[in-house]
Amino acid sequence: MQKTSARLLALLSLLQTRRDWSGDDLAGRLGITPRTVRRDIDRLRELGYPVRATKGPSGGYRLDAGAHLPPLLFDDGQAVALALALRSAATDETIGEDAARALVAVRQVMPSRLRRRIDTLRVTAVRPRGAGSASPVGTQILAELGRVIHAREELRFDYGDDAAGVAGVAGVAGVAGAAGAVGAVGAAGVSRAAGAVGRPRRVQPHHLVTWRGRWYLVAWDLDRDDWRTFRADRIRPRTPTGPRFTPRELPGEDVAAFVAGRFRGTDGSTTDWPCRGEVVLGLPAEDVAPFARDGIVEELGPDRCRLTLGSWSWTGLATTIGHFDADIQIIGPPELTGAFAELAARYAAAAAGRIQVSPGSTPAP
């Protein structure tokens, strides 16, 4: 028979693998009597493990969640996976400090053979382009957002702005003039930040998601009667929360498709770009493919290829295609031809030292 300490660890490992165990099953797996199982269960409870007895012909046991986190048992693979996850999370601005402290605690109790495997790994965080101005999100805010989503409670919050000044999905059409700078990357898929002063936002929170290094809250805006995507680092929750609500069905296939569609300038019901065109470029296909993002590149010859690409505006699409610095033959549609004509007139005016004024705009003084 195993020593008591080894037997307790084996028993704990079994209790962690599934929700319910009968006393006879545990006794058979451990090679002990049901009476010994009952005594070992009592020892685990004395150590702080919340093991609950369940009714049944032979009795049963379940490891419940407790008020305090007791020691946990991991095999070698689980311990290494946990340490790798913590090392990766330690590079995150939101939970990096907590993850680093947890990694130190896990590493201290690891056997030397596992510590050597972990210490050989070095993780370098590569921040997404344009993410330098984002403020870190406090873990308390993320926890509160997660709580109200799970509880299905309406949320009131102040939505502050920062130096990034990102435009909202609802205002995509109004910022179409900036499409040349955005190109195929798409418009910013977040609700416009109106500063921390004024009427708080009232929403029904549905999902907490990450996108390109930032946290976002996907919610139904009660005042605007539409879906909105809010940057979590700009949210300042108010208390108390509102009444419970019945979740709505998101447009699109799932939350991932909805968020991808919103960041591409659509209503979220599709992940397709709202503007898609086709051109022939005077470049080999292998030179275009690495920079075509989610576009389709078809080889037409040693020095020609067909490119089908999308963007959130025709001007942005034309600008992105121009980045390839090659001869361009427009296949269609006519909207893309018009965007190239508008850009050509704008660039020609700039080269001649003139100011090209777009319809409806006012020239700078």
pTM for this predicted structure: 0.52
In the β-sheet with 60-63, what is the strand arrangement from edge to edge? 21-22, 60-63, 51-54
* Segments of the chain scoring below 50 in pLDDT: 1, 67, 162-189, 194-196, 362, 364-365
What pLDDT does 163 receive? 34
User: Cβ distance 232 to 145 under 8 Å?
Assistant: yes
**Which tokens belong to 213?**
């290094």
What pLDDT does 222 receive? 94
Tell me how far apart the alpha carbons of residues 265 and 86 are, in angstroms, rounded to a whole number: 35
Q: What is the pLDDT of residues 285-343, one digit of tens each?
A: 888 888 887 788 888 888 889 999 888 889 999 999 998 989 999 998 999 999 999 99
What are the two backbone dihedrals, phi and then psi, of residue 113, each rounded to the nearest 5 degrees?
-65, -35
How many residues can be counted in the chain?
Answer: 365
What pLDDT does 166 receive? 36
Residues 6 or more apart from 317 whose CB is under 8 A from it? 179, 183, 184, 275, 276, 277, 309, 310, 311, 336, 339
What are the two backbone dihedrals, phi and then psi, of residue 262, each rounded to the nearest 5 degrees?
-65, -40
User: Cβ distance 174 to 167 under 8 Å?
Assistant: yes
CA atoms within 13 A on the CB side of 62: 10
What pLDDT does 280 receive? 93
Reference 222, options 240, 256, 245, 254; nearest CA is: 245
User: Cβ distance 193 to 135 under 8 Å?
Assistant: no
List helix spans (H) across the chain: 4-17, 23-30, 34-46, 76-89, 96-108, 112-119, 139-151, 179-182, 255-263, 285-288, 314-322, 334-351
Reference 330, options 315, 340, 320, 344; nearest CA is: 340
